[in-house]
Amino acid sequence: MSDLLSITDLRVTFATDSGPVDAVSGVSLGLKKGEILAIVGESGSGKSVTSKSVLRMLPETSTVTGTVMLNGQNVVDLTREQLRQVRGSDAAMVFQEPSTALNPVFPIGWQISEGLRAHKVDGKRISKKAARQKAIAMLENVGIPDASQRIDYFPHQFSGGQKQRIVIAAALALAPKLIIADEPTTALDVTVQAEILQLLRDCRDNLGASILLITHNMGVVADLADKVAVMLNGKLVEVGDVNQIFANPQHEYTKKLLNAVPKIGGTRRLDYKPQASSPLVVAQNLVIEYPGRLNTPAFKAVNDVSFEIQAGEVLGLVGESGSGKTTIGRAIAGLTRSTGGSLRVVGQEMVGFRERKFKKYRKEIGFVFQDPASSFNPLLTIEQCIAEPLLIHSRELGEAKIKERVAFLLDAVQLPNAAAERFPHELSGGQRQRASLARALALKPSLVIADEPTSALDVSVQAKVLDLFAEIQKEFNFASLFITHDLAVVDQVADRLLVLYKGQLVEEGKTKTVLSNPQHPYTQRLLASHPIPDPQKQAIHRQKLIRLISES
Amino acid sequence: MRNFLWRIPPFKQLKMSFGVQRLMLAVGLVIVSIFVLMAALAPLIAPYGFAQLQYENGEYFGAQEPPNPNHLLGTTVGGFDVLSRVIWGTQTALMVIIVAVIMSIFIGVILGLISGYLGGWVDRVLVLVADAVYAFPSLLLAIALSIVISGGRSGLFTGILAAALSITVIFIPQYFRAVRAETLRIKQEAYVESARVLGAGNLRIMFRHIFRNATRTLPLIFTLNASEAILTLAGLGFLGFGIDPTMGAEWGYDLNRSVSDVSAGIWWTSIFPGLAIVLVVLGNTLVGESLNDLADPRLRARQSVEVAGDE
């Protein structure tokens, strides 16, 4: 049987200011009907460009050669009009960020029927009424309750997971034979991710659609894919059956990639040695409210949370988006005002604090931000950025001493000396996050707040940054609040764990205990939703989640 | 030196531009350079002074003389040499642009930074004032200001200052808004937050972290405003609120004086000052628009890698 999609020697070149750049160089792939092929690779590997070239959704600056046979037609040679016919009916796309893939000013039903009405069936356009009926049916298919009423709702009235369901419904509207899902769950929480993956699996099982899945998450691959293609620098390094890739990877890069994936219950990077001293942070019945507008009550982002951070301890804080975990981190750093209860940071009360009084204690706190690309002033060199805290708090050191200290810090985070003169955009993501750590450590703080420090990084880079974090934690022995949504990451570094759900602390304890024997139903569901990067174990793991959901 | 030249703003963009965009930018740059050169070398190029009525031997030029070897572009109704006044006019225009735009950049940028960064009632009041100035017809404001400053008619420097100040008032809200919007955006950036976590003071954050990042778009507004400044100056001159002809050459005034000539078939008195205004405005706009397009990677055309196989 011939393949539904077959890509032969695909090359995509982009014209940039610094000359042509090959994004994809010579990729050949095949996808059969009803099959799920995952393309994995790190950022810049060309996986997204490959998937976009199937529908020729590339910018005008690109040049495509090779053939992309989709359902018997070569997409590369199609005219605009033919291409328009292919889009939506032969293949459809599910985007990464559901909140931007839907137009906020139109009701969702309109957006689903737009695709239906753009294509003629038997030379006739579908009527408005029929399109609406079809859209309702599609919404029911993807599990949106009360579809006949909610079809007139606007995108903002749905949650992130529901929006992604709607995007999938729109993609399915014309019963395409191929669904291209470009990082469909990356922007979603892990419990929602599990639901969307289940929905995509249903699309294949019940509708017989093939899926081209683009992802960097090996857990997602293990959960969904039949076949895996590994890309590196625009080239295909390995293609194979999912079980073979995970159990017996052939290429060095695939092995490296799989090794870098953090697993729950894997090797720990840090061990905590208790110290006898008073806790650095004490939160008692902490409440953080965001003021409401007229007629809307204040929003309680954090509600009645109590915890302590001991000196030299790494405390993990996990939760989904909106759980209040970042808010707590920001409150400790004095970026967000605490409104109730008590929060004492290095002995200072943060409820109703004054910046002027708190300023001298700021050198006790280092902060590592989530996105290293945006946390550096783009116009300052790395050296200037790292010297900032020293210039603010210890100007008396003098220029030479500060320079020396910056060099020492760069060395501590394993950045070459040459990086000092570079600008942030000239460093890679991992290097920037190292520099970010160096900046946080500049004043020898006793507490480092790390807000999702590795979630913007590729897995192999993430592994190296975590290694570094563990190493310098041992060396400098700071306490840390490690905020993350990734249970596997927190398992590697945190000694104790707090689980937040909707602003409340639902579980607290030793990381090992919590992850091996979760007590609260939410923690159980969180853990069961976390995909295991091994297809066979994941199949069993998935059953556990299904059982959990049916029980509740 | 050569490498350095290619790195400063308009030339850097000229190098990375391509096709029609490059042509537009190049034409704009050529016009603007001629304009600036002419202003700088006016005493050397211009055959006569801008207020000169007689030859060295005391003989008068004569009014409304058609173009002839002595007066390549003829003379005006007041008996001035048209060519000389067009050339000297570049000096006035350039000075007005420089004074007006520099003043409005300084004031606008500082107010924008303060307003965007501090927020609260300071921001509200400043935005309200800026909006009010925006809503005011600009030429009317310029006239009112020129009357206040110089009693309506004046010498070269008070005239330039009057024109420049009135233009400044109109332009401040533009810079104010651009910088305020950028400041509001940059205030949320992680690197500003990280400076706050470090305990940096407000002034340090404003000037070290926000200022340079917020002012990147200003060269674009600058070039576009320069042409608007010339038009306002010409408008003032045309309405009779500009610079006295014996104090400085000014195209708007010359156009005003030539209105009655047009119906009499005397074309040379109006065409050349008018053309000068059009060309300088065109040159500035071309540079501004091209810089604007080139600054945005989505609008920037690039040379394709090879002849594309499709389309």
Contact B200 A392 (CB under 8 A): yes
Q: Is A548 exposed, middle or buried (CB count within 10 Å of its CB: 0-12, 13-18, 19+)?
A: middle
Contact B309 A439 (CB under 8 A): no
Residues A319 and A199 both lie in one domain = no
pLDDT at B6: 63
Distance from CA of B281 to the nearest CA of A (A): 30
Q: From the CB of residue B260, how many other CB atoms can be counted at a distance below 10 Å?
A: 12
Mean model confidence pLDDT for chain B: 81
Nearest partner of A71 among A62, A82, A80, A59, judged by Cα? A82
pLDDT digits (tens, 9 = 90+) for B126-181: 999 998 888 877 778 777 877 877 665 566 777 777 778 877 888 888 889 889 99
pLDDT at A38: 94
Asked if residue A347 is part of any domain, the answer here is: no
**Residues of chain B positioned with their CB less than 8 A from the CB of A388:** 195, 198, 200
Asked if residue A391 is part of any domain, the answer here is: yes
- DSSP element (H, E) containing B122: helix B120-135
B196, B305, B306 ranked by CB distance to A335: nearest: B196
Number of compact structural domains in chain A:
2
Distance from CA of A85 to the nearest CA of B (A): 17
Contact A369 B303 (CB under 8 A): no
**Residues of chain A positioned with their CB less than 8 A from the CB of B208:** 377, 380
Asked if residue A288 is part of any domain, the answer here is: no
Q: Are A308 and A345 in contact (CB under 8 A)?
A: no
**Residues of chain B positioned with their CB less than 8 A from the CB of A65:** 309
Contact B194 A20 (CB under 8 A): no
Residues A317 and A185 both lie in one domain = no
Q: What ipTM score was computed for the predicted complex, to two decimals? A: 0.74
pLDDT at B25: 87
Instruction: For residues B115-126, give the mean pLDDT.
Output: 91
Nearest CA in chain A to B215: A379
- Contact of B299 with chain A, judged by CB distance below 8 Å, is answered with no
Range of the domain at A133: 5-217
**Burial letters B54-74, b for 16+ CB under 10 A, else e:** eeeeeeebeebbeeeeebebb
Residues A20 and A137 both lie in one domain = yes
Contact A393 B311 (CB under 8 A): no
Q: From the CB of residue B295, how many other CB atoms can be counted at a distance below 10 Å?
A: 15
A63, A77, A375 ranked by CB distance to B305: nearest: A63
Spatial separation of the C-alpha atoms in residues A473 and A392, rounded to whole Å: 24
- CATH code where residue A392 lies: 3.40.50.300
Q: Are A50 and A38 in contact (CB under 8 A)?
A: no
- Contact of B216 with chain A, judged by CB distance below 8 Å, is answered with no
pLDDT at A363: 87
- Contact of B12 with chain A, judged by CB distance below 8 Å, is answered with no
pLDDT at A115: 85
Q: Is A17 exposed, middle or buried (CB count within 10 Å of its CB: 0-12, 13-18, 19+)?
A: exposed
**Architecture of the domain defined by B2-295:** Orthogonal Bundle (1.10)
Spatial separation of the C-alpha atoms in residues B191 and B185, rounded to whole Å: 12
Residues A29 and A161 both lie in one domain = yes
| A and B: number of Cβ contacts within 8 A | 77
> At which of A217, A252, A283 does a domain end?
A217
Distance from CA of B216 to the nearest CA of A (A): 11
pLDDT at B2: 55
Contact B309 A76 (CB under 8 A): yes
Q: From the CB of residue A278, how many other CB atoms can be counted at a distance below 10 Å?
A: 11
Q: From the CB of residue A268, how many other CB atoms can be counted at a distance below 10 Å?
A: 14
One digit per residue, pLDDT tens: chain A, 552 residues? 468 899 999 999 988 777 788 889 989 999 998 899 999 988 888 888 999 899 888 888 888 999 999 888 898 888 888 888 888 888 899 988 888 889 999 999 999 888 888 887 777 888 888 899 989 988 988 888 888 889 999 998 888 888 999 999 988 888 888 999 998 888 888 888 998 999 999 888 888 889 999 998 899 999 999 999 999 988 999 999 999 999 999 999 999 999 888 888 777 777 766 666 778 899 999 999 888 777 778 888 899 999 999 988 999 999 888 888 989 999 999 888 888 889 999 888 888 888 888 888 888 899 998 888 888 888 888 999 999 999 988 888 888 899 999 999 998 888 888 888 888 888 888 889 999 999 999 988 999 999 988 888 888 888 888 989 998 898 888 999 999 988 889 998 898 999 999 889 999 999 989 998 999 999 999 999 999 888 998 989 888 888 888 887
Q: Are A119 and A85 in contact (CB under 8 A)?
A: yes
Q: Residues of A at the B interface (Cβ-Cβ below 8 Å)?
A: 13-17, 20, 61, 63-65, 76-77, 80, 333-335, 359-360, 362-363, 365, 367, 369-371, 374-380, 388-389, 392-393, 439
Nearest CA in chain A to B303: A15
Contact A374 B197 (CB under 8 A): no
* Six-digit token string for B33: 């350079």
Q: From the CB of residue A414, how many other CB atoms can be counted at a distance below 10 Å?
A: 15
Amino acid, res. B26 = A
Please give the DSSP secondary-structure letter assigned to residue A44. T
Contact A362 B197 (CB under 8 A): yes
- Contact of B124 with chain A, judged by CB distance below 8 Å, is answered with no
pLDDT over 70 percentage in chain B: 88
Contact A65 B197 (CB under 8 A): no
Name which of B6, B16, B194, B296 to mutate to probe chain A: the one with the most chain A Cβ atoms within 10 A of its Cβ: B194
Q: How confident is the model at residue B3 (pLDDT cuts 50, 70, 90)?
A: low
Contact B195 A388 (CB under 8 A): yes
- Contact of B22 with chain A, judged by CB distance below 8 Å, is answered with no
Contact A371 B190 (CB under 8 A): yes
**Residues of chain B positioned with their CB less than 8 A from the CB of A376:** 191, 194
User: How far is residue A214 from each of residues A48, A104, A179, measured CA to CA in Å?
Assistant: 7, 25, 11
Q: What are phi and psi of A328, to 5 degrees?
A: -65, -45
**Residues of chain B positioned with their CB less than 8 A from the CB of A16:** 302
Q: What are phi and psi of A26, to 5 degrees?
A: 75, 60
Contact B16 A17 (CB under 8 A): yes
Asked if residue A249 is part of any domain, the answer here is: no
Residue whose tokens read 């894997």: A266
Nearest partner of A484 among A471, A502, A497, judged by Cα? A497
pLDDT digits (tens, 9 = 90+) for B44-100: 888 888 878 888 887 888 877 888 888 888 888 778 888 888 899 898 888 888 888
Distance from CA of B307 to the nearest CA of A (A): 8
Residues A209 and A317 both lie in one domain = no
> At which of A217, A235, A255 does a domain end?
A217
B191, B201, B310 ranked by CB distance to A377: nearest: B191
